[in-house]
Structure 1
Amino acid sequence: MNKTDRQLAIMLELQRSKVVRAEDLAALFETSVRTIYRDIQALSETGIPIFGAPGHGYSLMEGYFLPPIGFSAEEAVALLLGADFIEQRLDGDYGRAAKAAKSKIEAILPETVRDESIRVRETMRLLNAGEPRTGMNEKDTLGQVRRAILERRKISFSYKKKTPEADGNRKSIREVAPYGLVFAQGNWMLIGHCGLRQDIRHFRLSRMTELVVLDTPFAMPPGFNLSLYRPQDDRSEHVWIRANPEIADKIAETGNFYIESAEEREGGLWVHLRVRAPEEILHLILSWGGDVEVMEPESLRFRVREEAEKMFKRY
């Protein structure tokens, strides 16, 4: 990053934050603190009102804003693609805001940059063709959950699990303190504290119905940071399959989350998978057809055989 670009980036950081330390700016832009001091002095000499407080950091005079900034074609594409994602994946409030933002961005772009950004966007797709947009019902749920998170209010909903509980039921009523939303593997997930399980749990929005935002307030646990949060890996069950090496790429594409290792041996490709419950990958194994054989556990071999017999009877 050259001096001019760095000084502009420092200005943007000062405008975004109330107070910024020289040490933090130096770490952010991978330069020395002495260089940051020189940059701040150069910016001050151009008339930009930057105030420094020893031991605290630098800040801009309240009410000072940078003049409008031009975008390169690449920067415009990044913003417009991001707005496309928000319009397609978030609820109506943000969807409308994203659409309006796109219009404003396109309106202020110089004609040459606008034409170039259109040309670049035509060469890319944000979503896979087979991946549907967030459905209307899910968008409604997303909007309610998002507002409950901001207002720090608990929610209640009926949740349908992928696999049944020990009693055979798949549906249960949950009361949850919602901490945040995550978009992963094409699905919106709610991260929150479940009153039923007395622990942090993850809920797929597409499986939530009868959602009610309650009047019950909750407090975010001290130190919880959604961007740093990593769920506990509870995949404690091991599955071994033997596969035709010719479908190794297909297995890797569809079962990638579960795969621990894959090794070619005599007799085929041996794949080791780790799961929460063997039944959760039954649909994957069936999708690979006669090119795979479950070696362990025996209970999963039985389930595959049972499903194959049902299919045989139907056909």
Structure 2
Amino acid sequence: MTQLSRLISILTLLKSKRVLTATELSDKFEVSIRTIYRDIQKLIEAGVPVVTLEGRGYTLMDGYTVAPVQFTEKEANALITAQHLVSKSNDSSFVLDFEEALTKIKSVFRSSVLEKSEMLNKKIHVFGRRSENISSNALSEIQLAATNFNYIEINYRKLDNSEPSFRKVEPYMLLYSDNKWILMAWCHLRKDYRAFRVDRILHFKILPEKFEDREFDPKAYYRANPYTHRKDS
């Protein structure tokens, strides 16, 4: 968890009117008490009125509230439209995570905007068929691995080969082409960058081991390999 995510979580807990000790926060987020002290100081510097109750812990000053995020009708409509497009994705993890995120976002819609968004939801239909009836359930985990520089081990089946091969890869980029998610990664088997269709990853494991960023340059790579997204590594 990043510091920003932890700060937001701490603020959410404090908003629930609970009194929390540094030890409780340290145990919950699995960081040192010194780190919690720094987090609390960051919140105070950002203008959050955190109050220290001697011998009890931290709480928020009475009457403190965070202004709710307000979405315009057009912004809400954009999210509803995105929901319909996402629902056509062949990766179930991505669809589920988006649906859960949208549910949370819709909870802060004004009632008038929510009513209009529900109306729009019935007025949008996205048509299209998949060229292959293959689904996946790896995209959300792969996204986390890419942003946290974690190695991934995969069993991968190529289009022209029924026997899967074992690969250890460094995930760098995800692209969407022809209704398919493609993972661009450094393959340790091939000693080069390769494109992997996510729906052809049979099994995968995110490793705790981190890799050094090779600073993959997509523009330079695609100039040299213009048809990469059509290949099956």
1:233 aligned to 217, 225, 233, which one?
Answer: 225
Q: CA deviation at 1:199?
A: 1.6
Give the CA deviation at 1:215.
4.7
CA distance in 2, matches of 1:75, 1:156: 39
Amino acid at match of 2:129: G
SS at match of 2:123: coil
User: CA, structure 1 residues 151+110, in 2 after alignment: closer, same or farther (shift >3 Å)?
Assistant: closer
Residue by residue over 1:9-62, the C-alpha shift from the partner in whole angstroms, topping out at 9 and shown as x without a partner, is xxxxxxxxxxxxxxxxxxxxxxxxxxxxxxxxxxxxxxxxxxxxxxxxxxxx72
Q: Which residue of 2 aligns with 1:310?
A: none
- State the number of aligned residues: 167
**Inter-partner Cα distance in structure 1 for 2:205 and 2:140:** 12
Is the partner of 2:102 in helix, strand or coil?
Answer: helix
Change (3 A) 1:143 1:106: closer
Give distance in 1, aligned partners of 2:70 and 2:210: 43
1:68: which partner in 2?
A: 68
Please name the residue that 2:189 is paired with. 196
In 2, the alpha carbon distance for the partners of 1:212 and 1:202 equals 18
Deviation string 1:222-279 (CA, Å, 9 cap, x unpaired) is 3x366x67523355xxxxxxxxxxxxxxxxxxxxx9xxxxxxxxxxxxxxxxx97xxx
CA contact (8 A) 2:170 2:186 kept: yes
Alignment of 1:139-150 (within 5 A): 139=137, 141-150=138-147
Q: How does 1:177-196 map to 2 (within 5 A)?
A: 177-196=170-189
Partner SS, residue 206 of structure 2: strand
Quick check: 1:162–1:170 contact (8 Å CA) kept in 2?
A: no
By how many angstroms is 1:88 displaced?
6.3
2-structure distance, mates of 1:187, 1:217: 27
**Secondary structure of residue in 2 paired with 1:70:** coil
Amino acid at match of 2:127: N
TM-score (normalizing by structure 2): 0.55
Alignment partner, residue 129 of structure 2:
130
User: What pairs up with 1:156-167 in 2 under 5 angstroms?
Assistant: 156-163=153-160
User: Whose RCO is larger (CA < 8 A, sep 6+)?
Assistant: 2
| 3-state SS of 2:98 partner | helix
* CA displacement at 1:204 relative to structure 2: 0.1
Q: 1:133 to 1:157 in 2, by over 3 A?
A: same
Contact 2:155 2:165 in 1 (8 A): yes
CA spacing shift, 1:177–1:67, aligned 2, 3 Å: same
- 1:242-281 to 2 correspondences below 5 Å: none
Partner of 2:176: helix, strand, or coil? strand
**Structure 2 residues without counterparts, runs of 5 or longer:** 1-44, 49-64
Query: 185, 204, 211: which is aligned to 1:218?
Result: 211
Match for residue 206 of structure 1?
199
The equivalent of 2:23 in structure 1 is none
The alpha carbon displacement at 1:211 in A equals 2.2
Change (3 A) 1:110 1:155: closer
Rounded to whole Å, the distance in 1 between the matches of 2:87 and 2:104 is 15
Contact residue 150 and residue 209 of structure 2 kept, 8 A = yes
Once the two structures are TM-superposed, the CA of residue 177 in structure 1 deviates from its matched residue by: 1.0
Residue in 2 aligned with 1:118?
118
Question: What are the superposed Cα offsets for residues 107-166 of structure 1, whole Å, 9 maximum, x if unpaired?
Answer: 4333433333233332323x434248983xx11x224423332442222223222246xx
Gaps of 5+ in 1: 1-60, 236-256, 258-274, 277-315
**By how many angstroms is 1:221 displaced?**
1.5
Q: 1:182 to 1:105 in 2, by over 3 A?
A: same
Higher radius of gyration, 1 or 2: 1
1:149·1:178 contact (CA, 8 Å) conserved in 2?
yes
TM-score, length-normalised on structure 1? Answer: 0.42
% identity of equivalent residues: 22
